[in-house]
Amino acid sequence: MKDYLVKALAYGGYVRAYAVNATETVSEAQRRHGTWHTASAALGRSLVGGLLLGATLKGEDTLTVKIQGDGPAGAIIVDSNAKGDVKGYIQNPKVSLPLNEKGKLDVRGAVGTNGVFTVIKDLGLKEPFSGQTPIVSGELGEDFTYYLAISEQIPSAVGLSVLVNPDETIKTAGGFMLQVMPGASDEVIAGLEERLKNLPNVSSLLEEGKTPEDILDIIFEGDSIMILEDAPVRFHCECSKEKFSTAIITLGTSEIQAMIEEDHGAEAVCSFCGNKYHFDEDELQGLIDEITGDKK
Ligand SMILES: [Zn+2]
């Protein structure tokens, strides 16, 4: 089954609902970064959360989620956009903690319980929008929920989950996000709260072969939902050798000269996807020539 995200309306349009199967997306991140199971779950949940927030964007808008906790995983950075592309990395990919008291991957132990949760949105305006909340849980679903409630004033529920196989590969990954729209009646909010008492574990439902549409049906238990669209999602990084050339040029001629003389070349590694770009001495000299205007 390919990864995709479903957008729907429930409760007569007063609740926006999103569900996503991101198993392949998170699998690719796991392979690219070589994450160990607890780090895989922390990065995977963050990627799923990024996709769900990204689903609320339009056109060319993009967003970045930065989770800086005090746990051994260090910072987690995720970029997503309105087209269903997501990329991300975790500062320390080699985190493997014992399971927590519930027998689950200890994401809170990896992320930590103190720190800052930041979302930066580039909506094509002069200044990007930036919102910040403290980390309240470290399990990440609750942190996305808290961010939406406090920073964007949208009462929401976010469920993020990742199942990891014994060989460190990803079994399933996915999530859902429900948002209450302004003007929703007390009955709608009370009804939704009742539903949220028994939130399904998305990765287990995906393991049973359930689709994102099925997951929304299970959450709303037969209440009619209106599917608006489904759209593919994927791990995607737009880095290129050209982009890294531009970055090297900004270092200046003496720095590049040092790379030629001391290292006889340079290697740039994209932190988002792990792709490596090698620059030999001739290519570095070409960049110096570009700076000095001495184009051949
Ligand atoms: Zn990249």
Mean pLDDT of 275-290: 95
CA of 295 to the centre of ligand 1 (A): 28
Those residues with Cβ within 8 angstroms of residue 67's Cβ, 6 or more apart along the chain or in another chain:
46, 75, 76, 77, 111, 115, 117, 118, 135, 140, 143
Which amino acid is located at 122 in the chain? D
CA of 287 to the centre of ligand 1 (A): 21
Report pLDDT digits (tens) over 66-79.
999 999 999 999 99
CA of 229 to the centre of ligand 1 (A): 29
CA of 277 to the centre of ligand 1 (A): 10
CA of 34 to the centre of ligand 1 (A): 15
CA of 238 to the centre of ligand 1 (A): 6
CA of 257 to the centre of ligand 1 (A): 25
User: What integer pLDDT is reported at residue 198 of this predicted model?
Assistant: 79
Mean pLDDT of 171-189: 93
CA of 117 to the centre of ligand 1 (A): 23
* Residue 296 in this model has a pLDDT that exceeds 80: no
Report pLDDT digits (tens) over 132-167.
999 999 999 999 999 999 999 999 999 999 999 999
CA of 46 to the centre of ligand 1 (A): 17
Longest dimension (CA), the chain: 72
CA of 21 to the centre of ligand 1 (A): 23
CA of 265 to the centre of ligand 1 (A): 20
In this structure, is the dihedral angle defined by the CA atoms of residues 230, 232, 234 and 240, taken in order, positive or negative?
A: negative
CA of 202 to the centre of ligand 1 (A): 28
CA of 115 to the centre of ligand 1 (A): 26
Report pLDDT digits (tens) over 88-118.
999 999 999 999 999 999 999 999 999 999 9
The two structure tokens encoding residue 134:
């403290």
The rounded distance, in Å, linking the Cα atoms of 250 and 243 is 11
CA of 269 to the centre of ligand 1 (A): 8
Q: Report which of residues 191 and 254 the model is more confident about.
A: 254
Domains and their CATH numbers in the chain: 4-235 (3.55.30.10), 241-292 (3.90.1280.10)
Report pLDDT digits (tens) over 208-253.
999 999 999 999 887 779 999 999 999 999 999 999 999 999 999 9
CA distances 80 to 140, 278, 291, Å, are 17, 27, 33
* Residue 295 in this model has a pLDDT that exceeds 70: no
CA of 10 to the centre of ligand 1 (A): 37
Confidence band, pLDDT 50/70/90 cuts, at residue 293 = confident
Q: For the chain, give the DSSP string.
A: ---EEEEEEEGGGTEEEEEEE-HHHHHHHHHHHT--HHHHHHHHHHHHHHHHHHTT--TT-EEEEEEEESSTT-EEEEEEETTSEEEEEES-----PPP-TTSS--HHHHH-SSEEEEEEEE-SSSS-EEEEEE-S-SSSHHHHHHHHHHHS---EEEEEEEEE-TTS-EEEEEEEEEEEPTT--HHHHHHHHHHHTT---HHHHHHTT--HHHHHHHHHTTS-EEEEEEEE-EE-----HHHHHHHHHTT-HHHHHHIIIIISEEEEE-TTT--EEEEEHHHHHHHHHHHHT---
User: What integer pLDDT is reported at residue 190 of this predicted model?
Assistant: 86
CA of 237 to the centre of ligand 1 (A): 5
CA of 190 to the centre of ligand 1 (A): 44
CA of 243 to the centre of ligand 1 (A): 10
CA of 207 to the centre of ligand 1 (A): 30
CA of 236 to the centre of ligand 1 (A): 8
Mean pLDDT of 53-64: 97
CA of 95 to the centre of ligand 1 (A): 22
Report pLDDT digits (tens) over 121-133.
999 999 999 999 9
Mean pLDDT of 251-256: 94
User: What integer pLDDT is reported at residue 238 of this predicted model?
Assistant: 95
Give the global pTM: 0.94
